[in-house]
Structure 1
Amino acid sequence: MPPTRVGPALLSWASQLEESTLAQARQTAAMPFIHPHVALMPDAHAGKGSAVGTVIPTRGAVMPAAVGVDIGCGMIAVRTGFTRADVDARIAATGIGLGALRRSVESAIPLSPGHYNRDTHGWKFTAARIAELEDLAAADGVDLTHSPKWREQLGSLGGGNHFIELCLDETDRVWLFLHSGSRGVGNRIAQHHIRVAQQACAQRHVRLPNRDLAYLTEGTAEFDRYLRELHWAQRFAYLNRAEMMDRFGAVFARWMGTPDHRETERTNCHHNYTRKEMHGGEEVWLTRKGAVDAHAGVRAVIPGSMGTHSYVVEGRGNADGLCSAPHGAGRRYSRTEAKRRFSQADLRARMTGIEYRDSAEFVDEIPDAYKEIGVVMDDARDLVVVVHELRQILNVKGT
């Protein structure tokens, strides 16, 4: 759908938009360094400081809370060489169902907040990723003493709406799919710089409509340090997803009784990050808070909610949309409200036909707590082209 102008420097692609979300977006769009405008994505909903689903171009400044505390959070999708028929044949031949595969995935990848790997030697591909991150930290002077267990965090999922899924596309090809970010180490980095930005604005007597819109100014030591540590955390998140995907692929191949998972394509993308881009004729710092890169021809992944379809997409390069697209379904109800409205029985009904861990702790992730992904994708039709539509047959979540 074409955008709606909802403020002097604010365009919206959201047909489902709460007043609280719009109010946050208007505050963000009124900051003095916005150029050319803020773009509100179809899945936008209220967040910390800035609404989730906001694309924010800034000149000479970055707002750490707008980037968010899960720096580099995003998606990875891998298409395998298998089909639904291969999976069904394997189950028929062995009598080993998807429940066994789910439990193997849960053993291979630590789930839930605070759960890390016991050591870093369990998988042959882990050492190279740790070495890359160590070298990057040393080269950029990134202090990681606040997170002595960051190496053990690599290859762990986390909780909330992070998940791992086995999916089928429109032709019944099998995909491996997961959502996660920079874990505890990224959160520590983000929280530190949010405080630094708030202190810097207070010292300069900057009047803010919301203290979580505090910013760091380009050309200062604080800004430079944040960008270096942000870059490191974004790389950690990217490699964290790759690490988990390689483990998932190995576990799936073992379950299928084959040497590997026959990977044919891979898309790994952030949806909470900042980088320099050209927009409105100028180079700006572009923050995608709950949004993906949708430059022309760029592949991205837009997940639905637990129990609904997800999408592999290709960007259209929409300039008004700041070459961005939504990052998912977007919440309709808070976790507390979802638990009040829905029950474990409701979740079971919504997950019919999908292998998952049946637990009341996931009620706040029920699809009904999220916006309709079909509506979100329809709103985004001028931003992306759908390449593949995926439906899950297995779901793994942390608490």
Structure 2
Amino acid sequence: MTSSYEVLHQQGQHPIKAWTRGVSFDENSRQQLLNIAGLPFIHKWIAVMPDVHLGKGATIGSVIPTVGAVIPAAVGVDLGCGMMATKTSLTAAHLPDSLTALRSEIEKRVPHGRVANFKGRDTGSWGQAPEDVVQAWLPLSEGFQRLCEKHPCLKNTNNLNHLGTLGTGNHFIEICLDEADAVWVMLHSGSRGVGNRIGTHFIELAKKDMERWFIHLPDKDLAYIPEGSEHFKNYLEAVGWAQDFALANRVIMMNNVLSAMRDVLPVPFSAELEAVNCHHNYISREHHYDKNVLVTRKGAVSAKLGEMGIIPGSMGAKSFIVRGLGNEESFCSCSHGAGRVMSRTQAKKLVSLAQHIQATAGVECRKDEAVIDETPSAYKPIDAVMAAQADLVEIVHTLKQVVCVKG
């Protein structure tokens, strides 16, 4: 299959291969990528996914292979953020006409959103973690203690009380139907408060090192940690732990959603007939083009040959279960979603509540002004995104949500 990317290249820099044909690719994102391409430790080139859009420091929808250094802001602060999807034995015929009770029960079982209340707990966290969460924390606790000994600022973070919680922004839980009317559960979240603090801490350390070593960068958020330096092993250890936390976080939420469904729906069912749990904000040690490299995927999913992944559309749009084609030119990667075309502020200014309600017709979800920043038109058309990466993944299932829970 012929490659479907365009190449950006400035003299003296590494190339940028962008799978962006037929989708928007704004100038600010291009410039941000060119800034990264000028760094000396990039391996071969940067791969850009069709959901590309401006991020802090590094572009969301980018795959950045490096040798001898890592850029903490390129990994970001939602470490290990990703998706989980599970197919059930249910079909559309098993679902009631009204899905309001099901959405309400899921919202009760999974803490979501964030309402800071100085007299009580944040409603997006556990007041007292239930037993399943405590048990899931046990394998993580020893590693967390080691991190706290090295980095005392992590001790008073939201850690155990955020395990098994959804968060805010573009994080979601959905009940979907596939092309054969089978019912799926799909959710999106990461390492929550503790991962955010880990990411922020190391971004700050990297910036201080750049100042101390008189290294001038086109963007301060591209501050990097060289291999062999004081913080390199500590950073990889902390990110690895946050990625484990994120995987466990999604498993707990999935179990609680399935439990809510069993209590609301009158028919017994099985789950995990097909299940995928994948990161899309993370670091991975991989081998590409005769080199052992660190691959940073910021808003991108691993798509090795035969590897299963999830590419969600916006609330109200389709999502896809995909199988990787192992395209080495993308460092075996694909997009992590549709990608924003409007900032959250723009969406709230440009999209009316009536337009949002119309765009989410047929979906049991919030239809209030507080979620307009997540409305479908704030994102690129998911069909165009999928067409642009036809040489990276093949579609296995097409999902359409009928319930969407937002933070």
**What is the TM-score of this pair, normalised by structure 2?**
0.93
Aligned pairs for 1:215-364 (under 5 A) are 215-258=224-267, 261-364=270-373
Q: Greater CA deviation, 6-15 or 185-194? A: 6-15
How far did 1:33 drift? 0.2
What CA deviation, in whole Å up to 9, does each residue of 1:128-172 have, x standing for no partner? 310011133346666574434410100111111111100000100
1:109 aligns with 2:110: yes
Which whole-Å CA distance do the structure 2 matches of 1:135 and 1:168 have between them? 40
For the structure 1 residues 293 and 142, does the alpha-carbon distance in structure 2 shift closer, same or farther, using more than 3 Å as the test? Answer: farther
Residue type at the aligned position of 1:190 = G
Partner of 2:378: 369
Partner of 1:63: 71
Where structure 2 has 5 or more consecutive residues not aligned to the other structure, the ranges are 115-121
Residue type at the aligned position of 2:160 = R
- From 363, 376, 386, the counterpart of 2:395: 386
Q: Is the 8 A contact 1:253 1:261 kept in 2?
A: no
Q: Is the 8 A contact 1:142 1:229 kept in 2?
A: no
1:137 aligns with 2:139: no
1:21 aligns with 2:29: yes
Residue type at the aligned position of 2:16 = L
Which whole-Å CA distance do the structure 1 matches of 2:312 and 2:236 have between them? 28
For the structure 1 residues 174 and 329, does the alpha-carbon distance in structure 2 shift closer, same or farther, using more than 3 Å as the test? Answer: same
Q: Is the 8 A contact 1:306 1:367 kept in 2?
A: yes
For the structure 1 residues 334 and 99, does the alpha-carbon distance in structure 2 shift closer, same or farther, using more than 3 Å as the test? Answer: same
Matched position secondary structure for 2:314:
coil
CA-atom RMSD in angstroms? 1.5
Q: Is the 8 A contact 1:250 1:260 kept in 2?
A: no
Residue type at the aligned position of 1:82 = L
Which whole-Å CA distance do the structure 1 matches of 2:351 and 2:260 have between them? 33
Which whole-Å CA distance do the structure 2 matches of 1:170 and 1:391 have between them? 8
What CA deviation, in whole Å up to 9, does each residue of 1:236-264 have, x standing for no partner? 11111111011001111111135554331
Residue type at the aligned position of 1:302 = I
Which whole-Å CA distance do the structure 1 matches of 2:49 and 2:344 have between them? 21
How many residues get paired?
A: 389
For the structure 1 residues 308 and 57, does the alpha-carbon distance in structure 2 shift closer, same or farther, using more than 3 Å as the test? Answer: same
Q: Is the 8 A contact 1:137 1:143 kept in 2?
A: no
How far did 1:119 drift? 1.2
Aligned pairs for 1:35-46 (under 5 A) are 35-46=43-54
Which whole-Å CA distance do the structure 2 matches of 1:304 and 1:142 have between them? 39
Q: Is the 8 A contact 1:36 1:279 kept in 2?
A: no
1:31 aligns with 2:39: yes
Residue type at the aligned position of 1:61 = A
Residue type at the aligned position of 2:198 = I
1:191 aligns with 2:197: no
Matched position secondary structure for 1:273:
strand
Which whole-Å CA distance do the structure 1 matches of 2:189 and 2:236 have between them? 21
Which whole-Å CA distance do the structure 1 matches of 2:150 and 2:139 have between them? 13
Matched position secondary structure for 2:216:
coil
Which whole-Å CA distance do the structure 2 matches of 1:139 and 1:154 have between them? 18
Q: Greater CA deviation, 204-213 or 139-148? A: 139-148
Where structure 1 has 5 or more consecutive residues not aligned to the other structure, the ranges are none
Partner of 2:135: 128
- From 66, 83, 92, the counterpart of 2:91: 83
**What is the TM-score of this pair, normalised by structure 1?**
0.94
For the structure 1 residues 218 and 315, does the alpha-carbon distance in structure 2 shift closer, same or farther, using more than 3 Å as the test? Answer: same
Runs of 4+ in 1 over 2 A off after TM superposition: 124-128, 135-149, 257-263
- From 5, 23, 47, the counterpart of 1:3: 5
1:161 aligns with 2:170: yes
Matched position secondary structure for 1:32:
coil
